[in-house]
Structure 1
Amino acid sequence: MQEQASGNSTGLTAGQIEIFDKDSPALPSGSYVLSVQQSVSHDGTCAISPSDGDQCAPYETSLDFAVEGPKLSMGTDQVMEVFPPSRSPGAWQETLPYISLASPSIPWESTIAIPQSSTNGDTAPWLALVVLTQEELGNLAQPVHTITVGDLISPSSQNVLAPVISPSPTTQERAEKISSLDIPAAVFTANMPSAADMKLLAHVRRTSKDDGTQTSETGTDTYSIIMANRLPQPAKNNFAFLISLEGLGDYLPGGSKSIPEDKTSVRVAVLYSWQLGTVTEESDFCSDFQRLAEGDNTSMLKLPQKIEGQVGTVLELGYVPLTWHMRSGETMTGWYRGPFTPVATKEDLIQPPKDSAILPAVLHSDQLLRYDQSTGTFDVSYAAAFEVGRLLALSTPSYLTQISGWRADAITEALKSTGNLYHDARALLSEGQAASSQEPPVSIQNWLARQAQLTGLPFSYLVPSADLLMTESLRFFILDQNWIYYFLMGALSVGILEDSSLAHHQGSAHSAVTKAMKSANNGEGWVEPITGYLLRSSLVTDFPKMTVSARAVDGNALVCLQKQNLSSAVTFGLFYGVPETVSFTQPEQHQQFGVYVQGSGYVIPARYISGAKTGSKIPSDGSGDASVQVAMRAHSNGVLDVSATAQSLAAIVSANDDYLQASGALSSGQFAVQMIKPAGQFSFSWSPTSQDNNTGEAA
C-alpha cells in the first residue's frame, strides 16, 4: 500500500477496489509564512542595494497565511456511507463500524499532537470514529448537543476538559454553532484509540463507478474510510460518533498527559453521529434474504390470491382489476398489466403484418383496447402504455421542441418533393400511402432509448397494486416488449391531429422505436427475452448499492441491462436472457471490517498484501488459515488494541509476503486488508414456468 496520487486513473472494473494508506494534502491545516529574498550584483558590485560586508544586502518580503480545514464541523454531503446502517438491527457484534467520506484527504488535513515515541515521528489523523453506549453517556436520549465554538473551548463548568484549538478561533468563529459531546473521563480513557491506533484506522479507497450494468458510469470514485476501534455491544444502545481530537491528542491512551483528577468529562466536537441498530444474532445480509426465500415471499409478479375459474386464469397472467373511466363518462372494471409480467408474451403485436412493411397507424389509445368476449371486459394495458407515453412526452418541453422541429423538417421535405409529382405519379400510385423515410434525429432517438429503460415512468404503471409487491418480498418477471413498444409509440404520437399525418410518420416512428428498444436491450432488440426482478425490502435501505448478477442454465453470466433504485426500499433490474440463478451481493467496493469469534475471544485471518494473492488468506502450517488472536483492552467491553493486533498480523504477513519484510510493520492500508470481511451473497434459483419457482441458498 502507498499514499494515493490524486487524479491517477487505474481503469478499475466493476467490483475492484484499490486501497491506499492516505491522501495527504499539499499543505496541512496550520499557519505559514512565505518568505522571498533576492540579491542583485554585477561584476562583484552591488547593483542596487548597499553591500553588507562581503554580501549584497538582499531585498526581502514575507507573507503570512493560514490553511484551514473543517476542524469542528463538516457538511453532511461529505458522508457517503456508514456501516452498520443507522438503526438497522443485525449481527453487528463482530463488526467494526466505519464511515466513508467524500473527501479522500480530509482525515489528514490536520494532525493531532502525539508523542514522538508512540508514532515514530509520524502524525496521526485528527478524526476518530468511536462507539459508545447510551449507558456510558449517562443514559441521555440525545447525547449530542448544539453549542457554540466558544462553549466548546471555554466551557462554563470547571470540571470539563476542553480542547485547545490553535490558532485560537476569532470572535466571529467563536459564535458559530457546532455539535458536541461530553464524554465521562473514565469512558474517554477506556474507549479512545491510542495515538498508534489512529495511524491504522484511516485509509483511502478507490472504486470503479462501473456497477456491472449496461448503463453504468465510467471512471472511479476516491474517498476516505475511518474505522472504529470497538465492537458494538449486545443488549446495549450503541452510538457511533465521528469526533475531532484536535487539541486532545496528549490525553489519548498512552499519551504524554493524563486527564486531571478535577476533570470529570472531556468535551469533543462531533462532526457526524448515528445510532446503531440492535445487535442480534438473527439478522444480517444472508439471513434476511433467507427469510425472503421462505414461504411465498419470492415468486413471479402476480397477485397472491388463488381464485378458481376464468378470473383466476387472468390473475395468473399477472393482471389486476382496476376501475376504468371511459371517454363517455361511464366507469367499468378493466384488466391492466404493466410491462412486468409473470409469463412470456408473444411479440407478434409489434411485428408488421405479412402484407405490409409497417404496423397499422395508431392515433388514439382507444385503438389499443382489447375486448375479451369470455369475460366481457377490456384489457386496457397497451392503451394505458400508449397514453402514459404521451403524457411523459408532453411533460418534457425539450423533447416537444425536438419532435416539433423534426415534423416541420419532414413537411418541408414533402413539399419539396411535389415538383416531381408528374414524373413520380406511377410510383406514387403503386406505393399507395408511402411512409416518411426521414428518421427522427439522434436526440429524439436517445430520449426514446432512455424511456425504454423505464426511466421516469410512474411506479403505479409498473406495479399497479401494492399486493403485487408486498413489504419484504422479491418478485421476478419477464418484460413485455409489446407494452414498451406502444409506450414509446405514444411518446412519438404527440402533436399529430389527423390519421393521414400519422400514417405519413408511421414508418419512421416504427423504425425509431425499434432502434430505441434495441439500444436499451443490449443492441439486440427482442432476440432474447428480457427478464428482471423487483425487490421491496429493508435490505435496499441498508444496502442501496448491493450488486445483482444472473447466470443462465449453461453457467454463462447474463448481461445486466440496468439496475435502478426506485425508492429507498424498492429496487429493480433487467437481464438480457432467462436466468437460472439470480445472486444478490453486498457491494464489494464497500466491504465491512470485523473479527471472528473463536472460543471466548476473537481471531483475524492473516491475508497477503501484494501480488495476485492480495486479500487472500494465508494458509497455516497445518490445516486451515493462519490467524492471530485479537488483542483487546483489559475490561474494555469490545475495544480492540489495534496496534498490538497489527503487530501480531505483521509477524505472519512478513513471514509469507516479501513485500512486508523490509518494513516489518503494517501500514493503514495493509491493516485494512487484514480487517476486511468478505461480502455476503445470497442466490435464488429461478424458473419462470414454475408456479412455486424460487428457493434460496447462501453463497
Structure 2
Amino acid sequence: MAIFTGGKSTAINSPRHLTLRHARRVIGLKKQSLGLLGPDEEVTEPTLAPGEEKVDSYWAPGLEAGPSYSINVTQTIKTPNQDESLVLQGQQDFTVDAPQFTLPEGSIHSVYPPSGYSEDHRILPHVVLTDPHLPWERRGSPKTPEHLGDRNRVPWLAVFSFTQDELKLSAEALASMFQKTSDQLQKPVKQSSTLAINMTVADLCATTDMVTPVSNLQPSTIQDARGDFIFVPAELFTSLFSTFDQSSQRQVPASPDTMPYQFLSHVRNINTTGMAVSGVEDVGIFSVVLGNRAGPLDNLAPATVSVHLVSIEGVEAMQFPISQPYVALCSLHSWTYTVLPPRMLNVPDAMEALGRTLGVLRPPESVIAALKARNDRVSDRIACRLDDGYSLVTYRTQTGERSVALYRGPLTPTVVPPLTMNHCSNSGIDLQILDKEVGIMDVSYSSAWQLGRTLALGDEAFTAALMRLRRAIHTGAMKASKIRVVQQESADALRTRTDLLKDLPTMVTHLHQVHVPYPPPAGATPPFVGGGPRRRWHRHRLRPHEIPGLGFQSPQIGKIYLEEAIKLARHLAQSPDGSMYDEHNAPNSNDWMVVLKWLMDRMFLDGVPAHYLISDPFHLEPESLRFFSIDQNWVDALIDGALSLGNHQGDDPDRAAIKAALNDYIQQGPQLLDQETQVPSYGFFLRSDLVTMFPDLRVKTLPQQSNPPKRAPLLRHEIITDGVMLCLLDRTPGSEDFTGLTFTQPPHQQRFAVARGLDVTAVKVDIRRQYTVDESIRDKDVNQHDPLTPEIKYQPDTADNLFIWGSQPGTADLRILRLPRFADVQLQYLQEKMGTYDAGSTPTKYFDDDTATSALFALQMNDPIYYLEIGLQGNPALQSLAAPPRPRTLRFLEPARVAPLLPTGTSSSSSSSPQPPDEPPAKDDDRGPVTTLFSRPAGYHPGPHILASLGPHVRAIRTRNLPSPQVTGDDTPAQFPKYTCSVVTSGLSYVQVGDNLPQDLIFAIGVSENDTSTYQLTEFDVRIRLGPVNPTIHTLMQDYDGPGPRMLDNLRFNVLPQFDHQGGDVYLLLRLLPRSATGRIEIRKVREMGFLLSLATVNLFPDHQTLVRLDTMAYYTDPSHPTQETNFDANIINSKA
C-alpha cells in the first residue's frame, strides 16, 4: 500500500525500516551541520511533530475528470528578411482519466468500524483513502457556484449506511428487474454479502424498475465497464438528497441536492511516527469521507449494517420525483459491521481492560499453578519449564521413534544467559540439551538451527550471494595462508610480483654476472654453479619432508587460515573509502551487502513463522499485552544454520569469518551515528480488537526523548496478523529510558460520532473549542480541553434541528445529519463563546473565522481521542525481564569441531617423522657418472621410444615416415548416434491402463554413441498415430486435447505439439527443437531428451499386453545425411484384463 507524502518518499523496503530511516536521518543532520552533504543529498524533516496533524477542507486536482478539455496553441514565426509573419495554430482535445466504477488496488487505507466488528449507534462510518485528491477527482456538483468552491467543494464520493431491509431485494424483484440483461449477468441474479450486484454498465441500463445517474455519464464510452451497484429505495434516496425545513419536514427540490456532502470529506496530513501501517513513511496525507447516517437507535439486539462508498457523480442531473421504485448507485467499496444496543462495551472500556492484562509471554498462571499443586518432583520440574516459556511438543528422533520434547521460541518470559558452547554446528544435533531431571530433550536451539538453514535455502538471492562470498573468502584466505606457510619455511622461497618489480632496476646490472661463480655468504646454502654437460639436467629434488603442507587440512594452514579469512571478510565488509560498510554507503562487495541485509533481517526475526515465535496459542490470549525478552542464543543458532550452507570442509572457518565481520558491523555502527547498531532485545505483543479497529494505533515509549532521539524508540512495529501487533525494542522494560508505554488513537483513524449522546428522545452535542491563533497562544487558554458551555440539546420536535430522526414524527428511519445547519451552528457557537485574550492592549479572539468548512466540521465530529498509558517501572509482572544490558553480537564464533581422517602428524609428509639424511652433493665431473635416485634391474633394455626422449645431447633413432590418411568426400562426420526411446507411466516401466482416465506419459529418449559424432541436430520428432482401438492397427491414443508436453530435465530443447495429416491418417507430431539462436545443437552434447505429455487418454486394448509402434525422425545439418529414421514399441499393459 503506497502512502502519499506530498514529496519525496522516505520508505525503505525492509523489516528494519524504522532503524534504517532513523539512522539515515541522524546521519543526514550531522552531515548537514558539518557541511558534508553532497550536491544531490538533502535532509527533509517533517513539518509536523509526532502526534500532530493538519486538516484541509479539500485537495482538488488541477483538472477534474469527466468534462472534455482542449488545448489551443498559437505560434508566430518571423524572419529577418520578410515583413510578413506566419501564424500557426493547433488544437488538441483530451480527457482526464480517473477511477469511475472501480477503485485502483490500494486506494482504501482503512475503514471504520472494521468489517465484522461491533460499534455504538452514535458512530458515523468513514473511509480513509490513500490518495488525498481522490474524492475531488470528479465533479460531485457541476452546478456549484464558484464562490462556494473557495473553502469547500462537493466530492463525487459519499458514504451511506443501510440496514439489511433497506437494500435487500425480494426474489420477485430480482427475477423481474434483470430479465432484459445480457448473458454476462449470471441468472438467477444474487446479491453479495453487502447487498450489491456486480454487472456491466450495459446490463445496468437494461435493468427495469429503476433509474440511475450512470445513464447521464456518456453511456456510449462506458458500456463495457463493470462495477458493483446497489438499488436504493426511491423514497430513501429522495430523503438523502433533499433539504429539511425548520420543522424537520422534507422539502423535495426539482433535482437532487448534493451540497450537504461538501462537509463530509476532508484531508489529513499527519506525522506517522509510532504507527505500524503508515509508519513506513515519515509523513502521510490521507483523504477521509464520512457517512451522514447513524445506526439504528431502538434496536434491542445487535443489528447488521451495510456501508457503501458510492459515486454521486451525475446525481444532480436527475429529476425529482423518482418515477421508479429503485435508484441504482455505483458502490466502489463496501463492508458490514454490527450496531450494538445502548450501554455495550466501548473503546474506553476496552483500553482500560487491556491495561490490566500486562504480563510476560508464558502459559496462563492457572496451568502452572495446577502442576505445582501436585507436589511431585516431575510436575514441579515441568511447571518450572512452563514458567520459563517452554511448551511440550511432539518430537521424532533420528531413528524414527515418536517422543515428546521441550521447545521454546526466541521470545522468552525471562532473560536467558549465554550458552557455554561457542562453536558452530554442522547439523544442529549438538545444540539439543537433555533435561536430566525429567529425561526430555530440549530441541529449541536445534529447531532454530534447522529453521535458519531452511529459510536460507528458500531465498535464492541470499544463497547465491553467500556462495560467492564464501568462494571469495576461501580463495583469498588460502592464497594468503599458502604464502605465509612458504615464507615461514624460507623468507626467499617465494618472490611476489611486488618483490620482482622492486628488483627490476638492479636486474640489468647483474645480468652479466649470471655465469660467474662467487662464494656464498657465511653459513648460507651453496648456490648452484655451472658445471659440465652431465650436470646440466641435475637439480636437487625436495624430499617429502621438505615440502610444506599447502592443503586446507594441513596443520600449517589450519593454524593461520582463520586469521587470514577474518582479514579478508573484514576487507569485503568495507566500503571503497576503507570505512566499514554500514548500509548507508557503497560496499566493496555486493554479495556482502546482500548477506548482511539478510542476516540483520533475521536478527529482527523477520520471516520467522508464527508458530516458532509463539509455541502455544495460550501464551497470547485475546485482549492481552505480553512482554518478552529475545533469547540471543536462539538467534545465534538461527544465524549459524543459515550460514552453514556451502560448508564442504567440515570445520568451516569461513562461517566464523563472516560472523566476525557481522559482529564488527553491530559493534561499530554507522559512521557519524556514535552508537552501536540497534538490535532488538525486548518486545511485546498486543492482541486486541483495538488493533483491528485502529491498525495505525500509535505507540509511544516513555519518557519522551529529544527530537530526533539518539536511538530509534521502536525497532520493529508491525501488524503480523489480524488483531495482533508486534513491537521490538532494544531497552529493558522498566528501565530509566523505558518507563512506560502509551497507546493512542491515530489522527486519521479516529472515530466520528453524531454527538456525545444520541437516542430516540434527544441528541446532546458538546461543541469543542477550536482556535485560529498560534499554538503558543492557545496553550495559555486554561480551558482549551473543555467543551463550550452550555451543551446543545435537541429533541425530535425541536425547531431548526441539527439531526433528522425520521421521515415521520415519532419514527427513526432516517437518522441523518441536517447539513449545512449543523456546521452553521458550530461556527456560530465558536464565534460567540470562544472568548478573547489580551494581545498587548487589544482584546483578540481565539477563534476568528466566518465560514463553515469541512475541516472545521470534521474536528467537531471527532469522537474524543482515547489513550492508554501503562507504567512499567516497579511492575511485578516484569521482574523476570530485569537484567543489565548485554551486547547483541553473535557468540558462536569458533569453527565446528570435526575429527580429521588422519590424526595430525601421521601423514607421510609430516616433518616430525624421522627422515633419511640428504645425499652428499655429487662431484662436478664432466665425464663422471651422475648419481640417480633409482636404478634399473639387471638385464633391462630400454626400447627406442624411451631412448628417443633422452636429453638433448642424445641423437634420436631414425624412423620411417608413414603416409597421411587420405580424406575422401564420402566420409561421414562420424557414425549416426544411437537413440533409445520408451514410453512409460510414472513409477513404472510400461504404460498402464485400466480405468481409462487421462494420465501423464513420460517419453524417455536417450542418446548414446555420440561422443565423437560431429552431427548438428536441428530437430527430433516423435510421430504418434491417432485412432480408435483397432485389432490390426494399434494406435496409442484416439485423440489428444490435454495441456501439452513439457521437457523434464534437458532444458536445451523445447517440445511443441502439432497435428499432421498424411494419407487420411492423423498423427500427433511432438517436435523437439533446440533452444539456440542458430537453431541447432551438437549431438555430442546431448545425453537425453525426455519429456512429459500431460493428461493423455491411452487406448484401452482388450488384451493384457499390447505393443504400439511409434516412429522417430532426427534432422541434421549435414546435407549428405540430413535425416535418421528409427522406431520403437510402447508396451501397453491392461491391468483389468
Q: TM-score range by the shorter chain?
A: 0.7 to 0.9
Q: Is the CA contact (8 Å cut-off) linking 2:196 and 2:230 kept in structure 1? A: yes
1:448 aligned partner, one-letter code: L
1:98 to partner: Cα distance:
0.9
Q: Which residue of 218, 243, 250 corresponds with 1:168?
A: 218
Q: Deviations over 1:259-285 (max 9, x none)?
A: 24x443322222222212232442333
Q: State the alpha-carbon separation in 1 of the partners of residues 638 and 325 from structure 2.
A: 68
Q: What does residue 559 of structure 1 align with?
A: 713
* Structure 1 pair 523–489 and aligned structure 2 pair: CA distance change class (3 A): farther
Gaps of 5+ in 2: 9-43, 171-192, 243-256, 373-379, 491-554, 574-591, 735-739, 795-801, 837-843, 881-1137
Does the residue aligned with 1:548 lie in a helix, a strand or coil?
A: strand
Q: State the alpha-carbon separation in 2 of the partners of residues 492 and 693 from structure 1.
A: 35
1:405 to partner: Cα distance:
1.4
Q: Equivalent residues in 2 for 1:32-181 (5 A)?
A: 32-37=69-74, 47=84, 60-75=89-104, 77-91=106-120, 93-113=121-141, 120=148, 123-137=153-167, 143-153=195-205, 155-157=207-209, 160-163=210-213, 165-170=215-220, 173-181=222-230
Matched, 1:322 2:393: yes
1:644 aligned partner, one-letter code: R
1:516 to partner: Cα distance:
5.1
Q: State the alpha-carbon separation in 2 of the partners of residues 38 and 689 from structure 1.
A: 78
1:660 to partner: Cα distance:
9.6
1:259 aligned partner, one-letter code: P
Q: State the alpha-carbon separation in 1 of the partners of residues 608 and 420 from structure 2.
A: 22
1:341 to partner: Cα distance:
0.8
Q: Which residue of 649, 668, 671 corresponds with 2:857?
A: 671
Q: What does residue 680 of structure 1 align with?
A: 866
Does the residue aligned with 2:455 lie in a helix, a strand or coil?
A: helix
Q: Is the CA contact (8 Å cut-off) linking 1:134 and 1:239 kept in structure 2? A: yes
Q: Equivalent residues in 2 for 1:407-422 (5 A)?
A: 407-417=470-480, 418-422=482-486
2:437 aligned partner, one-letter code: S
Q: What does residue 55 of structure 1 align with?
A: none
Q: State the alpha-carbon separation in 2 of the partners of residues 301 and 139 from structure 1.
A: 50
Q: Deviations over 1:387-418 (max 9, x none)?
A: 21111112111111111112111222223221
Q: What does residue 476 of structure 1 align with?
A: 627
Q: State the alpha-carbon separation in 2 of the partners of residues 96 and 615 from structure 1.
A: 29
Q: State the alpha-carbon separation in 2 of the partners of residues 331 and 217 from structure 1.
A: 45
Q: Is the CA contact (8 Å cut-off) linking 1:115 and 1:250 kept in structure 2? A: no
Structure with the higher helix share, 1 or 2: 1
Q: Which residue of 590, 597, 610 corresponds with 1:446?
A: 597
Matched, 1:259 2:321: yes
Matched, 1:302 2:354: no
Q: State the alpha-carbon separation in 2 of the partners of residues 126 and 400 from structure 1.
A: 51
Matched, 1:640 2:817: yes
Q: Is the CA contact (8 Å cut-off) linking 1:213 and 1:559 kept in structure 2? A: no
Q: Which residue of 763, 788, 792 corresponds with 1:601?
A: 763
* Structure 1 pair 259–37 and aligned structure 2 pair: CA distance change class (3 A): same
1:20 aligned partner, one-letter code: D
Q: Is the CA contact (8 Å cut-off) linking 2:5 and 2:285 kept in structure 1? A: no
Q: State the alpha-carbon separation in 2 of the partners of residues 473 and 81 from structure 1.
A: 23
* Structure 1 pair 6–565 and aligned structure 2 pair: CA distance change class (3 A): closer
Q: State the alpha-carbon separation in 1 of the partners of residues 780 and 227 from structure 2.
A: 44
State the Cα RMSD in Å: 4.2
1:452 to partner: Cα distance:
0.5
Q: What does residue 1024 of structure 2 align with?
A: none
* Structure 1 pair 526–313 and aligned structure 2 pair: CA distance change class (3 A): farther
* Structure 1 pair 627–451 and aligned structure 2 pair: CA distance change class (3 A): farther
2:730 aligned partner, one-letter code: Y
Q: State the alpha-carbon separation in 2 of the partners of residues 185 and 213 from structure 1.
A: 43
2:304 aligned partner, one-letter code: N
Does the residue aligned with 2:159 lie in a helix, a strand or coil?
A: strand
Does the residue aligned with 1:174 lie in a helix, a strand or coil?
A: coil
Matched, 1:285 2:347: yes
1:455 to partner: Cα distance:
0.4
Q: Which residue of 633, 642, 646 corresponds with 1:491?
A: 642
Does the residue aligned with 2:596 lie in a helix, a strand or coil?
A: helix
Q: State the alpha-carbon separation in 2 of the partners of residues 622 and 393 from structure 1.
A: 54
Does the residue aligned with 1:572 lie in a helix, a strand or coil?
A: strand
Does the residue aligned with 1:322 lie in a helix, a strand or coil?
A: strand
Identical counterparts, % of pairs: 23
* Structure 1 pair 553–544 and aligned structure 2 pair: CA distance change class (3 A): closer
Bigger shift: 574-583 or 376-385?
A: 574-583
* Structure 1 pair 241–618 and aligned structure 2 pair: CA distance change class (3 A): farther
1:624 to partner: Cα distance:
5.2
Q: Which residue of 227, 245, 255 corresponds with 2:290?
A: 227
Q: Which residue of 681, 699, 713 corresponds with 1:548?
A: 699
1:614 to partner: Cα distance:
10
Q: Equivalent residues in 2 for 1:201-240 (5 A)?
A: 201-211=264-274, 217-234=280-297, 235=299, 236-240=303-307
1:643 aligned partner, one-letter code: P
1:491 to partner: Cα distance:
1.4
Bigger shift: 240-249 or 646-655?
A: 646-655
Q: Is the CA contact (8 Å cut-off) linking 1:87 and 1:278 kept in structure 2? A: no
Matched, 1:272 2:339: no
Does the residue aligned with 1:445 lie in a helix, a strand or coil?
A: helix
1:634 to partner: Cα distance:
5.6
Higher relative contact order structure (alpha carbons within 8 Å, sequence separation ≥ 6)? 1
Greater radius of gyration (CA): 2
Does the residue aligned with 2:114 lie in a helix, a strand or coil?
A: coil
2:361 aligned partner, one-letter code: L
Q: What does residue 25 of structure 1 align with?
A: 61
Q: Deviations over 1:20-75 (max 9, x none)?
A: 222222211211233344566889998378xxxxxxxx654433332343333334
Q: State the alpha-carbon separation in 2 of the partners of residues 528 and 5 from structure 1.
A: 28
Q: What does residue 385 of structure 1 align with?
A: 448
Q: What does residue 360 of structure 1 align with?
A: 423
Q: State the alpha-carbon separation in 2 of the partners of residues 466 and 104 from structure 1.
A: 40
Matched, 1:509 2:659: yes
1:571 to partner: Cα distance:
2.6
